[in-house]
Chain A
Amino acid sequence: MHGIRNLHTTRGWVGFFVVAALLLVAVPVLNALPETSPLHVPDWLIPLAGKFCCYALVALAMDLIWGYTGILSLGHGVYFALGGYAMGMYLMRSMAGEGVYRSELPDFMVFLNWKELPWFWHGFEYFPFALLMALAVPGLLAFVFGWFAFRSRIKGVYFSIITQAMTFALMLLFFRNETGFGGNNGLTDFKRLLGFTLSEPSVRVALYWLTALVLLGVYLLARAIVRSRAGRVLTAIRDAESRVMFCGYEPLYYKLAIWTLSAVLCGLAGALYVPQVGIINPSELAPAQSIEMAVWVAVGGRGTLVGAVIGAASVNGLKSVFTAVAPEFWLYALGGLFVLVTLFLPEGLTGLFRRLRRTRAAEARA
């Protein structure tokens, strides 16, 4: 009981369960209502909600590394995309022989006139293997990259632009047809996941439900981490790394662990994202994509976890509205958001709420 107490106050737990009930129960139930009902949640909203949950997952991962440890990554799109590609490879392999060319190979390989599967595609016909890869590949890349970077104490903006260079390099690599991941077009036209047809509404609801469940679980995990002793060390590293070292801690291991975990979580988000969205291509690796992830966290408020989820949902909600109503002004809105949040809302939306509440409390006392 003590551990759970430590995670949240009673009020916090109530809030958590209300949100959980909304995501896990209310949305599917409302979706099942007849379409005439004013409370009906339309079918097209389900994958969108699932997508937002994936983004929120990424935002949580970003918050762990940036909000709590003070390391701004401009390359988290890499881990997200790698997880997505691993899942996409499974989805491609699971429909061998059913593509346009009726070949055992994925369509794009037939199109490129390849005769056999490249070595790194082997094994992806098994779902557990693909899932493992979706987590292990980003984790491993992050571990190696982080080992080199943190060991030589690269930090601050230097670290950020190096991560950006990494995502840029990988984008170039994945754009090539020869790399073997479908080039420009990426992987798409998926049909089935574990035998379930992806276009089926019930499958979509199930995928959404699973994503929401994972999101809640990861939130609790992240919360447990940041409330733990190790979490305190992370915050201390963010605020004064040299002092942490003088106290006898080795920041390298803490940073490396949280960095790798953050990458694994992004890989998980990518793996959940691809079956719901139906495509993965190198544009996910564009540097701008990764920077946008940072802005979700900044908008919600860094170092709060809840803020990351709120930020991801609100920025992407705004994006959906803008791209439908006034696409040419979306970049203005996004750019303005970057500037305004950093200038006027350094603590994001959650910081704003907190300040409002504090002011009200002060007024009530007066």
Chain B
Amino acid sequence: MNPPVRSRPSLSTLAALLFCLLLLPLAQPVSAAVDPKIDATLAALAEDPKTLRSALDVLAQSRDPRASRVLVALDEGRLTIAPGAVLIRTRDGQRVNAADGQPWTGAAGDAPAMTNAVRRVLASSIERARLRSEDRAERLGAARALNDRPSASAEPALRAALAEEQDPEVVTALKLALAPLDLDSPDKDKKLAALAVLANDGELTVLGRLQPLASGDDPEIRAAAQKAITAIGDRQWLRDQGANLFYGLSLGSVLLLAALGLAITFGLMGVINMAHGELLMIGAYATYVVQNLFRAYLPGAFDWYLLAALPVAFLSAAAVGWALERVVLRHLYGRPLETLLATFGLSLILIQTVRLIFGAQNVEVANPSWLSGGIQLTQQLVLPYNRIATILFALAVLVTVWLLFQKTRLGLRVRAVTQNRGMAAAMGIDTRRVDAGTFALGAGVAGLAGVALSQLGNVGPELGQAYIVDSFMVVVLGGVGKLAGAVAGGMGLGIVNKFLEPSMGAVLGKIALLGFIILFIQWRPQGLFAMKGRAVEG
């Protein structure tokens, strides 16, 4: 049920990314913040590789972006010294002059000898150079990296950086990196200050450091540590609830999309369409086919295949739905239980047909590039774009269907037939045609839902089976024949599900929810939003 969550970028990958960013501008000539001392040092180093040790000191003190590049390259073994120039090998294998960033065509030169002394100095110099860089993102990255794995050797660099840092976000990151180090300090005030910093912005990872302090001797420190632990816990809790809400909304939109078509047809005709899940599947496979066509014939516009998939999925699912209605369902009106069985048979046939055409295995549907990735709210909370898009998409579909029902002639007829079939027929509405049209519309909406599902999880012949019980539950919970019911049912189920999951586990949470629904309809057999009217019991 839960589509795999894209793994969130960790700090280390973030740092790696920053390193890559660092190397990108290498090809351009150096312009900003040129430090003449660097030119001199690099020139001296090119003359005599033995000056490396003293060159490191200069490089570590400089704010010139070239300095940190040289240090990183040295650390990663990409630095060579040729007669007349210090060279850096870029990721694509080119060599450039470290002094001016121009491509180098001469001899490759030799890697400098790395003595233990050089290595030791290098480790702290890199941090220092990055913390002093002109580039804000790099400073923030360096501070956060230290934050992740605090080391006493970086302390002087951190303090120096903190003393002159202006940017508030970097200041926070620096303070956070220093705080765990200060916790070890004998100075009580420093300890308390560090605890205050952690209480404000600390992450779960420092909890292990705080626990011993919370049971220490000094009552003041004990209280402060306790406060920090509570504050960190509370913050995490709030963040978890935020994440639950977001993922609940996202799941709710999926359920809403999946159940919307069902609610329309169920409300109108009083029949349960067990093949509804397969209409979702058809929508997802239509997306797959469109994707393959784009890949083969329009690779340039591949990113926009999803937009083309929407009408294709809508029309193909609507066509199948229309055919089902014409061939089978219309002969079964007034016999809801038989309809249920017949549509189940149809779903088996559709599943097997898809299996024969596309194979029993799941097929791969790629996210277009504008749907991969996400908004990083905090270091741990990422809102993936595909989930945000699902929420917006569900909203758009909902508004469209609502407008269709409320503002068009077709919608008027559909509502009339839903409320009182006999009376509508007496008023001259061709109820048979309305039935067929509405069924096709419901099926088309299911096809659109299939497009959304293809972006979130696996696409396989059994896709529909996974959603059908949930869709029914949405309809049962929300009540029949009202869009508001589908919205309340879908969102309610989605959000409650996500809030139950962390404490009960996915399966037990779902079981609890099903049990709840069974009890709920004791209380309100018509669902949350019942149709008002004098429906006669059969």
Q: Name A's B-contacting residues (CB within 8 A).
A: 66, 72, 74, 145, 148-149, 151-154, 156-158, 160-162, 164-166, 168-169, 172-173, 175-176, 241-242, 287-288, 291, 294-295, 298, 328-329, 331-332, 334-339, 341-343, 346
From residue B532, how far is it (CB to closest CB) to chain A in Å? Answer: 18
How far, in Å, is A329 (CB) from chain B's closest CB? Answer: 8
| Pair B522/A173 contact, Cβ less than 8 Å | no
Which residues of chain A are within 8 angstroms of B508 by Cβ–Cβ distance? 173
B338 within 8 A of partner (CB): yes
Query: In the complex the two chains form, is A343's CB within 8 Å of B342's CB?
Result: yes
7 closest cross-chain pairs (CB), A and B? A338-B345, A335-B348, A335-B349, A331-B352, A335-B345, A169-B514, A342-B342
CB–CB A162/B476 < 8 A: yes
Task: Indicate if the CB atoms of B337 and A72 lie closer than 8 Å.
Answer: yes
Known: A161-B272, A165-B469, A334-B345. A72 touches B522 (CB 8 A): no
> Which of B53-61, B328-336, B452-460, B482-490 lines the interface with chain A?
B328-336
Query: Quick check: B346 and A339 within 8 Å, CB to CB?
Result: yes
Is the Cβ of B521 less than 8 Å from the Cβ of A162? yes
Closest-CB distance, B112 to chain A (whole angstroms): 56
Q: Complex formed: what's the CA distance from A253 to B339 in Å? A: 28
Q: Which residues of B contact A161 (CB under 8 A)?
A: 272, 472, 476
Closest partner residue, chain B, to A172 (CB atom):
B507
Nearest CB on B from A170, distance (A): 8
Please name all residues of chain B whose beta carbon is closer than 8 Å to the beta carbon of A334 when the two chains form the complex: 345, 348
Chain B hits for A156, CB < 8 A:
336-337, 538
Interface of B, helix, strand, loop or mixed by DSSP: helix
Interface contact B345-A157, CB-CB below 8 Å: no
CB distance from B67 to the nearest CB of A (A): 57
Residue on A nearest B270 in the bound complex, by CB: A157
> B331's closest neighbor in chain A, by CB?
A343
Cβ–Cβ < 8 Å partners of A342 in chain B: 332, 335, 338-339, 341-342, 345
Measured between alpha carbons, how far is A295 from B346 in the docked complex, in Å?
A: 13
Q: How far is the CB of B476 from chain A (nearest CB, A)?
A: 7
B137 contacts partner chain A, Cβ-Cβ < 8 Å: no
Q: Is the C-beta of B511 less than 8 angstroms from some C-beta in chain A?
A: yes
Contact A151 B341 (CB under 8 A): no
B274 nearest CB neighbor, chain A only: A291
**What CA separation (Å) do A267 and B328 show in the bound complex?**
35
Which of B348, B518, B522 neighbours the largest number of chain A CB atoms within 10 Å of its CB?
Answer: B348
Q: Does B517 interact with chain A (Cβ within 8 Å)?
A: yes
A335 to B331, CA, bound (A): 17
What residue in chain B is nearest A66 (Cβ atoms)? B337
**Cβ–Cβ contact A295 & B341, under 8 A:** yes
Given contacts A152-B525, A157-B272, contact A287 B469 (CB under 8 A): yes
> Is there contact, CB below 8 Å, between B328 and A166?
no
Chain B residues within 8 Å of A149, by CB: 518
Bound-complex Cα distance A287 to B272 (A): 15
**Cβ–Cβ < 8 Å partners of A288 in chain B:** 344, 465
> Cβ of B340 and Cβ of A72 under 8 Å apart?
yes
Please name all residues of chain B whose beta carbon is closer than 8 Å to the beta carbon of A148 when the two chains form the complex: 518-519, 522
CA–CA, A332 and B510, complex, Å: 32
> Do residues A339 and B328 form an inter-chain contact, with CB atoms below 8 A?
yes
Q: Which of A165, A298, A332 contacts B341 (CB 8 A)?
A: A298
On chain B, the residues within 8 Å of A335 by CB distance are 344-349, 352
A331, B340: Cβ atoms under 8 Å?
no
* Residue B271 CB within 8 A of the other chain: yes
A344 to B21: give the CA distance in the assembly, Å: 70
Whether A157 pairs with B337 at a CB distance below 8 angstroms is yes
**Pairs A–B under 8 Å by Cβ, sample size 10:** A72-B340, A74-B340, A153-B525, A172-B511, A173-B508, A241-B537, A298-B338, A335-B352, A339-B342, A342-B332
A158-B348 contact, Cβ under 8 Å, with A173-B511, A242-B537, A342-B342: no
List the A side residues contacting B346 at CB < 8 Å. 335, 338-339
On whether the beta carbons of B473 and A165 are closer than 8 Å, the reply is yes
Any chain A CB within 8 A of the CB of B515? Answer: yes
Using an 8 Å CB-CB cutoff, how does the interface string of B496-533 with A read, 1 for contact, 0 for none? 00000000000110110011011101110100000000
Within the assembled complex, what's the spacing in Å between the Cα atoms of A157 and B475?
12
Contacts of B342 in A (CB 8 A): 338-339, 342-343
Among residues 320 to 373 in chain B, which have CB atoms less than 8 Å away from a CB atom of chain A? Answer: 328, 331-332, 335-342, 344-349, 351-352, 355-356
Identity of the chain A residue whose Cβ is nearest the Cβ of B338 in the assembled complex: A342
Q: Which of B335, B345, B507 contacts A173 (CB 8 A)?
A: B507
- Cα distance A328–B353 in the bound complex, in angstroms: 10
Give A346's nearest chain B residue, CB to CB. Answer: B338
Asked whether, in the complex, the Cβ of B518 is within 8 Å of the Cβ of A166, the reply is: yes
Contacts of A165 in B (CB 8 A): 469, 472-473, 514, 517-518
Q: How far apart are B441's CB and chain A's nearest CB, in angstroms?
A: 20
Are A169 and B511 closer than 8 Å at their CB atoms? yes
Of chain A, the residue at the smallest CB distance from B513 is A169
Query: With A165-B469, A294-B341, A342-B341 as given contacts, are A154 and B511 in contact (CB-CB < 8 Å)?
Result: no
Whole-angstrom CA separation of A149 from B517 in the bound complex: 12
Whether B328 lies near A160 (C-beta < 8 A) is no
The answer to whether A157 touches B340 (Cβ under 8 A) is: yes
Tell me the bound Cα distance from A332 to B353 in angstroms: 8
Q: Contacts A165-B518, A335-B349 given: A343-B328 contact, CB under 8 Å?
A: yes
Contact among A152, A166, A169 with B510 in the assembled complex (CB-CB below 8 Å): A169
Closest residue on chain B to residue A343 by CB atoms: B331
Chain B, Cβ-Cβ closest to A334: B348
Taken together as a complex, chains A and B put the C-alpha atoms of A148 and B337 apart, in Å, by 21
Which residues of chain A are near B348, meaning CB under 8 Å?
Answer: 331-332, 334-335, 338
Is the pair A154, B328 in contact by a Cβ cutoff of 8 Å? Answer: no
Decide: B340 and A152 in contact? CB cutoff 8 A.
no
B472 contact set on A, CB distance < 8 A: 161, 164-165
A152, A331, A341: residue with the most chain B Cβ atoms closer than 10 Å: A331
Looking at B340, B342, B472, B514, which has the most chain A CB atoms within 10 Å of its CB?
Answer: B340
Contacts of B465 in A (CB 8 A): 288
> In chain B between 256 and 272, which residues have their CB closer than 8 angstroms to a CB of chain A?
270-272
Chain B residue with Cβ nearest A145: B518
Instruction: Evaluate contact between B514 and A166: CB separation under 8 angstroms.
Output: yes
Contact B525 A154 (CB under 8 A): yes
B274 proximity list for chain A (CB < 8 A)? 291
User: Using Cβ atoms and an 8 Å threshold, which residues of chain A touch B347?
Assistant: 335
* CB–CB A162/B340 < 8 A: no
> Are A152 and B522 closer than 8 Å at their CB atoms?
yes
Q: Name 15 extra pairs, CB < 8 A, besides A166-B514, A288-B465.
A: A152-B521, A156-B336, A158-B476, A160-B272, A161-B476, A165-B517, A168-B469, A291-B341, A291-B344, A328-B356, A334-B345, A338-B345, A339-B342, A339-B345, A343-B332
Residue of A nearest to B507 (CB): A172
- Enumerate chain B residues within 8 angstroms of A329, measured Cβ to Cβ: 352
Contact of A164 among B328, B332, B335, B469 (CB under 8 A): B469
Q: What residue in chain A is nearest B348 (Cβ atoms)?
A: A335
A172 touches B510 (CB 8 A): yes
- Report Cα–Cα, A152/B522, bound state, in Å: 6
Contact of B525 among A72, A158, A172 (CB under 8 A): A158
- Are the CB atoms of A336 and B336 closer together than 8 Å? no
**The residue from B339, B345, B510 contacting A336, defined by CB atoms under 8 A apart:** B345
Residues of chain A within 8 A (CB-CB) of B352 are: 328-329, 331-332, 335
Please determine whether A336 and B511 come into contact, CB atoms closer than 8 angstroms.
no
Residues of chain A within 8 A of B521, CB atoms compared: 152, 154, 158, 162
In the docked arrangement, what's the CA distance between A149 and B331, Å? 30
Between B271, B332, B337, B517, the greatest number of chain A beta carbons within 10 A of the residue's beta carbon is seen for: B337
Give A157 Cβ to nearest chain B Cβ, in Å: 5
Q: In this complex, what residue of B is CB-closest to A71?
A: B337
Q: What A residues does B537 contact at CB under 8 A?
A: 241-242
Q: List residues of chain B with CB within 8 A of the CB of A157.
A: 270-272, 336-337, 340
Shortest beta-carbon distance from A290 to chain B in Å = 11
Task: Report the Cα distance A298→B337, complex, angstroms.
Answer: 11
A359 to B534 CA separation, bound complex (whole angstroms) = 44
Nearest CB of B to A68, in Å:
14
CB contact between B337 and one of A160, A162, A176, A343 (< 8 Å): that residue:
A160
